[in-house]
Amino acid sequence: MEIIGVWETFRDDPEAWVAIITGEGDRAFCAGADLKTYTPVLGERDIYDLRQDADRPGFGGITRGLNIWKPIIAAVNGYALAGGLELALACDIRVASENAVFGCSEVQRGFHHCDGGTVRLPLIVGLGNALRMQLTGEHIGAAEAHRIGLVSEVVPMEQLMPAAERYAGAICANGPLGVRSAKESMIRSLGRALEDALRFENVLFATLTRTEDFCRRSSSVYGKTSSGLEGPVAIPVNDRSGSRTLSQRKLIFNLEV
């Protein structure tokens, strides 16, 4: 999948700190696969081959099999259905336009999500809300998505990208290693026993205290220096190849699908 290569580029670029993913135009973020054509193919595939999908990259590149500890923001500009919802769930922060629609339509075809929908959705909105969405297959609007915690903010369409960039800018103002370590700690602690999770958190914390970024930023906080820690946030560019604009040391990686 071409998009996997884009995510790998973002992951491996040391000057790329935050990614924003959005859909092209103003109608849909991502509506997933065409279930009318996708469903018959599922029935024809060998069951053992289907099970091996668990070890393959998921839909959209970040839903399964690709760990990226850099923050990813979803600017949901319309429909986010089926696999499109799973793609949004795999992001760390979701901002929605007022016309955004979210839904799990798979049950209407006799199956369910397979790229994190039944796993991530209850973690984000709670089991009760997730069960309602998954079992009924009903779509919900942006206001309801905000009420249950699926999205952080709902804005008019023309304010969607500025809102996403505002979150990205706030993240870029922080230490990149601390941000990534915080994300890794939260994600990798899921499912761990409490004592194991606390130990893992402390190991990551201790490691950070030996990094150059920690030393420089700690000195800056106490007024010793601010060298190299300031500068304007990069302005994202709309380019499906994942192109980006760099301004000093802070960069936002913008991806349009």
Q: Is 86 a catalytic residue?
A: yes
Mean pLDDT over each residue of the chain, to the nearest integer: 83
Identify the domain containing residue 117 by its residue range: 2-170
Q: 66 falls in which pLDDT band (50, 70, 90)?
A: confident
Looking at the fold, whether 156 and 179 belong to one and the same domain comes out as no
Is the four-CA dihedral 20, 74, 188, 2 of positive or negative sign? negative
Looking at the fold, whether 39 and 127 belong to one and the same domain comes out as yes
In the chain, alpha helices (H): 2-12, 35-44, 47-51, 83-89, 117-125, 127-136, 142-147, 160-172, 176-189, 194-208, 212-221
Describe the strand order of the beta sheet including 140-141 as a list of residue ranges.
Answer: 28-30, 79-81, 101-103, 140-141
Phi, psi angles (nearest 5°) of residue 157: -55, -45
First to last CA, the chain: 12
- At 81-114, the pLDDT tens digits run 988 999 999 999 999 999 999 999 888 777 777 7
Q: 133 falls in which pLDDT band (50, 70, 90)?
A: very high
For residue 240, pLDDT over 60 is answered with: no
Q: 25 falls in which pLDDT band (50, 70, 90)?
A: confident
The residue among 48 and 68 whose pLDDT is bigger is 68
DSSP-derived 3-state class of residue 30? strand
Q: 248 falls in which pLDDT band (50, 70, 90)?
A: very low
Query: Is there a contact between 181 and 69 (Cβ–Cβ < 8 Å)?
Result: yes
Q: Is 106 a catalytic residue?
A: yes
Query: Residue 200 falls within a domain, yes or no?
Result: yes
Candidate list 24, 86, 138, 153, residue with the active-site label: 86
Q: At a CB cut-off of 8 Å and minimum separation 6, what does 157 contact?
A: 26, 77, 97, 98, 99
Query: Is there a contact between 18 and 164 (Cβ–Cβ < 8 Å)?
Result: no
For residue 237, pLDDT over 50 is answered with: no
Looking at the fold, whether 36 and 101 belong to one and the same domain comes out as yes
Res 197: pLDDT: 96
For residue 229, pLDDT over 50 is answered with: no
For residue 48, pLDDT over 90 is answered with: no
Candidate list 98, 106, 184, 256, residue with the active-site label: 106
CA distances to 178, 191, 214, 226, 246 from 231, in Å: 18, 39, 18, 11, 11
- The residue-averaged pLDDT of 225-254 equals 41
Res 43: pLDDT: 65
Res 51: pLDDT: 66
Query: Is there a contact between 119 and 58 (Cβ–Cβ < 8 Å)?
Result: no
Looking at the fold, whether 153 and 219 belong to one and the same domain comes out as no
Query: Is there a contact between 126 and 89 (Cβ–Cβ < 8 Å)?
Result: no
Query: Residue 183 falls within a domain, yes or no?
Result: yes
The residue among 120 and 256 whose pLDDT is bigger is 120
- At 145-161, the pLDDT tens digits run 999 999 999 999 999 99
Looking at the fold, whether 212 and 108 belong to one and the same domain comes out as no
Res 34: pLDDT: 62
Query: Residue 79 falls within a domain, yes or no?
Result: yes
Looking at the fold, whether 185 and 166 belong to one and the same domain comes out as no
Res 234: pLDDT: 34
How many separate domains does the chain show? 2
For residue 74, pLDDT over 60 is answered with: yes
- At 158-216, the pLDDT tens digits run 999 999 999 999 999 999 999 999 999 999 999 999 999 999 999 999 999 999 989 88
Q: Which of 149, 170, 191 is the last residue of a domain?
A: 170
